[in-house]
Structure 1
C-alpha cells in the first residue's frame, strides 16, 4: 500500500488487518528510528501491541539505514510472515524502498564517515542547494527526485558517486535478484492536492499539541545528535531543531516544517504518477469504504487462504 504522507495509509491498513490475515511491514525511512514517535506518525503502543508490525523502532537516531538494508530486512521479515501462513502488507511512502524490493538494487557502498564529513563541510560553506546543483549536473535523474534542501538524500547520492565513480541512479536496475514474489500494488491518492495539503497542515498542528517539540528536545539532546545524526534531517524534526538552536522563532519553524511536508508530498505524488503503472488507485471516498478495498484484494491476490 503506497501513498503520500497524510493519505490515510495507517488507518486503512488497520481496517485490512481486521478482515484479512495480514502482518504489516512498515516501508517508512523515518519510523525505523526509536523515540521518533509523534513526528513520524507512528502507530501508538496499543496498536503496536495488538497488530503485528515490522521494521519499526529498529535503529537509534544516530545510525544510518539504506535501501539495501531495507531490502535485506524486508526479505527476511516477509519470508517469516509467509511461513506463519499470513500475508505481508507493505505500507508506507518511502518509494525508494518499494523500488528496491520490486526491482532490486546493485550492492551500494556502506556509509563512509570521512566522505560524509567532507560533504557536510562543503554544505556548511556552500549550502545544500549548491550541492544539489552539482548533483543535477552529474546525476539529473536522481536530482529531480530530491528537494534542494533534503540534506540526507543529497549527501547519500554524492557519497555513492564519490565512492564508486557511478551515479546513484545507475545502481538501480530490474534484476533477477529482486524479491521473487507476487506484489499486489494498491495506491492511495487524495481527491485533490489542496485537501491533502490541508490535512498535512492540520496533522502537524496536532503533532505539536501532542508534544512534538518536547520529543524533539528529548531525543536530539546534544549538539552532535542535533547536527550530525541521520534522523535529525527528517522533515519536522529538522525545522524544530533549528528553533531549539535559535535559528528560527517557533512560528517560523512550524511554517517551514509544514511547507517542507507539503513539498515532500508533492514529490511523492510525482513519483506515483510516473512509477505506478499497473497499480490500483483508490481515492479518499474509497478509503472510507474499506470493504470495497478488501473485496478487490481478495479478488486479485494469489493467496489460497484469503
Structure 2
C-alpha cells in the first residue's frame, strides 16, 4: 500500500457539536466508509445515552466499531488500536480516503499516532501502592512521584489516583522515569492523517449539550438505563448519562437533579475533550456551522501538498 495516497480524515470536537453529521457528509462525498473512535458507542446495550448514530444515519454510510461489543466484553484502547488498524488496512485497499470520527481523544490518538508502550512490571508493585493510597492518602504517593519523576508529576492528572499509581509503578518497576517512555517507539502509520475539528462559542456548545440531554430523555434514555441497573458495576456503565440515572433509581436523587447532573457532567466532559484536541496543533478548526465545501477544500488542499 502506498502511504502517499492514503488519507485518514479524522473528525474531532466536543460532544453534541455535529461530528456524526459531518462524517456522513464527507463519507458520501468521498464515497468511503466511517470508523468510529467513540469508546462509548462500541457497546450495543448503550444506544440512546451515547448519542450513537441512528438507524437512518447508519444506512447513509457504512460504519465500523458501532455497537460491535457487549458491555460485558473486556475491551480497551490497546485492543481497539489493533482492530482499528487491521480494519483500515482492509479499507485502504478499496479506498484512498477513510473517515474517522469520535470524541474519545485517547482512542483517536491510538489510531492516528499509536500508543505509548510501557514495560511489564511486577503486579505486586501496584497492589502495594493501592494499599499505601488507602493507608496514607494520595499526597504521599504524589510526593513519591515528584521525587522519582518530576516531569510526570508536572504533567499528568496529579489528582487522579489511578494516573499517579500507574506512573509510580512504571518508575519503581523499571527503574526509569515514567516520562521517559512517552512518545517513544510508536508504530509508524502507512497512511496520513488530516484532522478536522468542529467547535463553537462555549455558550453554544453548552446549549447544544443541554438540549441533547433533554432529547435523550424523550427518546427513552430513562428506560435504557433502567434495563442496565443490574449491570451498573461494569466499567462501561461508569459514564455520563448512566451513573446519574442509577443514583435516581436508588432514590438518592430526584429525576430533575439527575438530569441537571447529566448536563453538568456532559459540559465538563466537553471541556476536557477540547483541552485534549487543542493539543494537536495540526488540526484544522471550523465553526460547527461551516459550509462543508470549505472543509472539503481544506482536505483537498492538504492532499495535494
User: How does 1:123-272 map onto structure 2 within 5 Å?
Assistant: 138=145, 139-140=152-153, 141-143=155-157, 155=162, 158=165, 162=169, 165=173, 171-190=181-200, 192-218=201-227, 220-222=228-230, 225-227=231-233, 229-272=234-277
* Matched-pair contact (CA < 8 Å) for 1:142–1:169: no
Deviations 1:209-239 (A, max 9, x none): 1110101111x241xx212x01111111111
TM-score (norm 1): 0.79
Match of 2:74, SS state, is coil
Using a 3 Å threshold, how does the CA distance of structure 1 residues 50 and 283 change in structure 2: closer, same or farther? closer
The aligned counterpart of 2:288 is 284
* Matched-pair contact (CA < 8 Å) for 2:126–2:169: no
Task: Say if 2:88 is the partner of 1:78.
Answer: yes
* Matched-pair contact (CA < 8 Å) for 2:167–2:178: yes
TM-score (norm 2): 0.79
Task: Say if 2:67 is the partner of 1:57.
Answer: yes
Quote how far apart the aligned CAs of 1:156 are: 7.1
* Matched-pair contact (CA < 8 Å) for 2:130–2:165: no
User: CA separation in 2, counterparts of 1:34 and 1:302?
Assistant: 39
Quote how far apart the aligned CAs of 1:255 are: 0.9
Task: Say if 2:34 is the partner of 1:24.
Answer: yes
The aligned counterpart of 1:151 is none
User: CA separation in 1, counterparts of 2:144 and 2:124?
Assistant: 23
User: CA separation in 2, counterparts of 1:284 and 1:104?
Assistant: 28
Give the root-mean-square deviation of aligned CA atoms. Answer: 3.4
* Matched-pair contact (CA < 8 Å) for 2:156–2:163: no
* Matched-pair contact (CA < 8 Å) for 1:26–1:92: yes
Structure 2: gaps (5+ residues): 1-10, 146-151
Tell which structure's C-alpha radius of gyration is larger: 2
Quote how far apart the aligned CAs of 1:254 are: 0.9
The aligned counterpart of 2:104 is 94
User: CA separation in 2, counterparts of 1:115 and 1:254?
Assistant: 40
Question: In structure 2, which of residues 293, 296, 303 is the aligned counterpart of residue 294 of structure 1?
Answer: 296
Question: In structure 1, which of residues 7, 11, 20 is the aligned counterpart of residue 21 of structure 2?
Answer: 11
Match of 2:39, SS state, is coil
User: CA separation in 2, counterparts of 1:38 and 1:249?
Assistant: 21
Quote how far apart the aligned CAs of 1:23 are: 0.9
User: CA separation in 2, counterparts of 1:260 and 1:28?
Assistant: 17
Structure 1: gaps (5+ residues): 149-153
Q: How many residues in Structure 1 have an aligned counterpart in Structure 2? A: 283
Quote how far apart the aligned CAs of 1:46 are: 2.6
